Structure 1
Amino acid sequence: MKPVTAMHGRGLAMAIAAVLVVSASVKGSPADPPGKSPPPSSYAPVNEPDFQTTLSRMSSAKAGIMQRQKTLLEQRYDLSDRPLQGVTMDRKKPVQGGVRVKLKAGTSWDQLASMSPADIRAKDLFPAGFMPLPHPNHPEGGMLFPHFEIERVKQQDNRDLTRFDLDFDLPDAFLPEFPPAIYLTTRTDLGDVSKGQLVTLDNYYQLFNGLLNPKQLDGLRLLLTPFPQQQFNATADRRSLRPSQGVACFDCHANGGTNGATHLVGDIRPQEFRHRIETPALRGVNIQRLFGSQRALKTVEDFTEFEQRAAYFDGDPVIATKKGINILDRGSQVHDMAEFQELLDFPPAPKLAWDGKLDPAKATQAELHGQEIFFGKGQCSTCHTPPFYTDNLMHNLQAERFFKPRLINGMMAGGDGPIKTFPLRGIKDTPPYMHDGRLLTLDDTVEYFNLVLGTRLTADEKKDLVSFMLTL
């Protein structure tokens, strides 16, 4: 055995000291006292707790979390079932009408419209329903599906998209028609090619074989194929009761449209600053040049690949590898998926002429007046230009001028930043509105933009503007 020299002794002492420092940092130190939360990290923890412990803890907390969100929604909105007379979506689901955002006591819309943003902010009069909408459990987040989607997928694909910790929050009356119709740019003569069915792996081949070319047909198959995702996978830190095959693109974008499913944007940290996402329809992606509400991805191929590689796992490649990332081949699979998506058309709008504006012979006076407001005093066409009513740009409305930032159910309500201009074609079929679904009706959107843009529309102008948008 070799004797311990002075140098060896110093090295041994240094090693022991290092171990003691590491041990102290784990247990807590004066710089990191016991009980203090560590600073937020961009990475999620990889080592999951025991599944049964997590299941028990989160299941027992579910009722309280959902009641908290229900209370918030009831404070913000009138959630009664009050559809517009004679106005329906593609398959005759009634369209909800009226302003549903509640005002602070003692105020009116005209009064608010006459005030400056600084005054509204100082007096805290900005309607709560105009502020960003939190996820039902914002600190947790994750994909969350309406019950009607869950039940239909169970029936057709024998998959369960139920989360043991959360239920969807918005009432069905304010969600899109289910299942949406599918219109193809290549076969406008056929109308709804889904024939009223939810397209899944169970029936896609029967419905589309002979209607699509082989590349498009395989692209549709991939869009309907479930792949592992953050909450739905086989690991012990999933949020489904049983190990899950995962989710498919068309679980949220049902029939290439939307079912209103919600999630949190994967691009922002820390957690409380992340935005809720309300699933947009994929109809008309062939004319769009930006994808993702804020990501500004430049092609639908970029978007498709990004979703599978990053968004499915909250932008965390470590977790993605653990849970089962699906690497799609860009040159074949991604291309085929994009080729099908680019066939998805907007629904018919029989009152519009070739240029996207109203045919005077088919429109009512109220609709024509609403069109005049849209292209004039209302300033809507500044961003929403015909024929598809988008400028394919991003804009920052700076709505934070009207309120002081605050924490709402675990979400920091502040500035939205630049958001893409979503097309307005088919707008009546895709409630709720804004990127996070904070506006339940078109009447709410008119009041929101009337205030934020300072257009000071009259009651009749607002009403007719809604009438015009219903024709789109």
Structure 2
Amino acid sequence: MHQRNNAKLWAGMAIAMVTAALGSAYAQQGPRGASSYAPVDITEPFAAIFSRLSKQKPSVMRDHMALLNERYDLSNRPAAGITMDRTKPVQEGVRVKLVPGTTWDSLAVTAPEQIRDRNLFPPGFMPLPHPKHEEGGMVFPHTEIDEIKRHEGRDLTRFDVDFDIPDHFLPEFPPAMYLNQRSDLGDISQGKLVTLENYYELFNGIINPKQLEGLRLLLTPFPQQQFNQTEDRRSELPSRGVACFDCHTNGHTNKATHLAPDARPTQTRHRIATPTLRGVFVQRLFGSQRALKTVEDFTEFEQRGAYFDGDDVIAAKKGVNILDRGHQVNMMAEFQEMLGFPPAPKLDLFGKLDPSKATKAEMHGQEIFLGKGRCGACHAAPYYTDNMMHDLQTERFFKASMIDGLYETGDGPVKTFPLRGIKDSPPYMHDGRLLTLDDTVEFFNLILGTKLDDNEKQDLVAFLRTL
């Protein structure tokens, strides 16, 4: 009897230890959703959905903009004499706000675990929530909304949320478009937004019929999670959907935002800022973190899956358009692979600065980029990418927490984006958390522990503006 009781005791202790271990592991994993699937049958009428979410919109945006104002200086402070590809001024200065009592210099010499334990990590360096993170979905800047409505009568306005980043931090609109095979023509868009209304007039006689058809498909709206015909859409009127170039304006970007489709529950999904398609021809990974291997994969899977939050059941309900891989997808990819980088007159044929054209500060910035700053370890000339993914292990610096609907943890591996034309593509990082190049330099100075001084940081920014 005594032995049986001991056996029961040890068995109970073992079960308790296993349960505790599993509980600890579960806690470390973070939140887990009840299901990977979204509800299919919506019982609330559209009129009720529209009324409820429209009334909530002002408070949703007020709360989210309060978060942005806590994190950033959102004022309009353009750099003197520095513009994007055409005329839009580039914003200058570090806009991320420091925790009171800290300086950039003091942070640079503080160990990551001390920054974490003392809550000193600048909130603007933490992952950025979607403006309505529990909902997610595509949200467009008003410039894109207004121009598409004018050209096509299609309304990309959401009744439940608005875009959040102020216009002066966004890329020039509409951006220029360059074709590698017709570099002699310069901006092929002629300063216009390329749409279904004008693409044929602009491109006929310049590209071949396959590429024309690929461009047409890139400009054609197809159903998407928030823009479709169903009662759980987020546009007031039934919508034809969205087009690839609604986000990748003129083959570049307007920084429209949504959530990565991969993870569940939604609070663990990362915000995605639309990257530029300029220079697709040199890239070997597609998607900020999905690491799709070809532009054909990305073109097909984005519309079939990511448009619907990675839920093929919902895609079937809302009207997914299945593109033919060997015909339509290839045509779309062929056009995307023509998209070139903007001119960089100070760079030589190896992608390095020509000393006869660059300033002393720019030359010094290049030296920092390739040396002490360690930027060149991942961003190699001539296009300033290594076509790999890297994990910056940002979770070293802050404690996991729920903020504005996002469970803020580390970023995980992120694609090395090409830096050619980088001044034309603010804000930066995969989620747009870094508003200026100055912010980006401060971020990596802290994350990489490079301990650059103020002069080195300023010259590094000067170099990045030449790319």
Name the counterpart of 1:81.
76
Question: 1:264-312 deviations in whole A, cap 9, x for unaligned?
Answer: 0001111100000000000000000000011110100000000111000
Query: What is the one-letter code of the residue matched to 1:284?
Result: G
Name the counterpart of 2:159.
164
- How many Å separate the matches in 2 of 1:39 and 1:147? 33
Name the counterpart of 2:444.
449
Equivalent position to 2:38, from 33, 38, 44: 44
User: 1:198-213 to 2 correspondence within 5 Å?
Assistant: 198-213=193-208
Equivalent position to 1:391, from 353, 361, 386: 386
Deviation at 1:390, TM superposition (A): 0.2
Deviation at 1:391, TM superposition (A): 0.1
Name the counterpart of 2:376.
381
Equivalent position to 2:363, from 365, 368, 371: 368
Equivalent position to 1:132, from 127, 135, 152: 127
Name the counterpart of 1:432.
427
Q: For the Cα contact (< 8 Å) 2:33–2:264, is it kept in 1?
A: no
- How many Å separate the matches in 2 of 1:187 and 1:211? 8
Q: Match of 1:263, SS? A: strand
Q: Match of 1:43, SS? A: coil
Q: CA RMSD in A?
A: 1.0
Name the counterpart of 2:323.
328
Name the counterpart of 1:315.
310
- How many Å separate the matches in 2 of 1:314 and 1:358? 42
Deviation at 1:411, TM superposition (A): 0.2
Deviation at 1:72, TM superposition (A): 0.3
Q: Match of 1:312, SS? A: helix
Name the counterpart of 1:347.
342
When normalised by structure 1's length, the TM-score is 0.92
Equivalent position to 2:214, from 202, 211, 219: 219
Name the counterpart of 1:142.
137
1:111 equivalenced with 2:84 (yes/no): no
- How many Å separate the matches in 2 of 1:40 and 1:405? 21
Query: What is the one-letter code of the residue matched to 2:249?
Result: A
Question: 1:159-197 deviations in whole A, cap 9, x for unaligned?
Answer: 000000011111000000001100000011110000000
When normalised by structure 2's length, the TM-score is 0.93
- How many Å separate the matches in 1 of 2:73 and 2:307? 33
Q: Match of 1:187, SS? A: helix
- How many Å separate the matches in 2 of 1:138 and 1:160? 22
1:228 equivalenced with 2:223 (yes/no): yes
- How many Å separate the matches in 1 of 2:110 and 2:317? 53
Question: 1:99-147 deviations in whole A, cap 9, x for unaligned?
Answer: 0000011110000001000110111000000000000010011000000
* Consecutive unaligned residues in structure 1, runs of 5 or more: 1-37
- How many Å separate the matches in 2 of 1:394 and 1:189? 34
Q: Match of 1:186, SS? A: helix
Name the counterpart of 1:423.
418
| Percent identity over paired residues | 70
Name the counterpart of 2:67.
72
Q: Match of 1:352, SS? A: coil
- How many Å separate the matches in 1 of 2:47 and 2:370? 58
Question: 1:433-452 deviations in whole A, cap 9, x for unaligned?
Answer: 00000000000000000000
Q: Match of 1:54, SS? A: helix
- How many Å separate the matches in 2 of 1:338 and 1:235? 30
Q: Match of 2:180, SS? A: coil
Question: 1:316-341 deviations in whole A, cap 9, x for unaligned?
Answer: 11100010000000000000000000
- How many Å separate the matches in 2 of 1:329 and 1:281? 24
Query: What is the one-letter code of the residue matched to 2:400?
Result: P
1:459 equivalenced with 2:454 (yes/no): yes
Query: What is the one-letter code of the residue matched to 1:214?
Result: P
Name the counterpart of 2:291.
296
1:358 equivalenced with 2:353 (yes/no): yes
Question: 1:209-260 deviations in whole A, cap 9, x for unaligned?
Answer: 0001000000000000000000000011100000000000000000000001
Bigger CA radius of gyration: 1
Deviation at 1:39, TM superposition (A): 5.1
- How many Å separate the matches in 2 of 1:310 and 1:273? 18
- How many Å separate the matches in 2 of 1:171 and 1:362? 34
Equivalent position to 1:263, from 248, 255, 258: 258
Structure 1 residues 39 and 201, CA gap change in structure 2 (3 angstroms): closer
Between the two proteins, the alignment pairs up a number of residues equal to 436
Deviation at 1:40, TM superposition (A): 2.2
Equivalent position to 1:274, from 269, 276, 284: 269
- How many Å separate the matches in 2 of 1:153 and 1:231? 17
Name the counterpart of 1:15.
none
Question: 1:30-88 deviations in whole A, cap 9, x for unaligned?
Answer: xxxxxxxx952110000112101111110010000000111000000001100100000
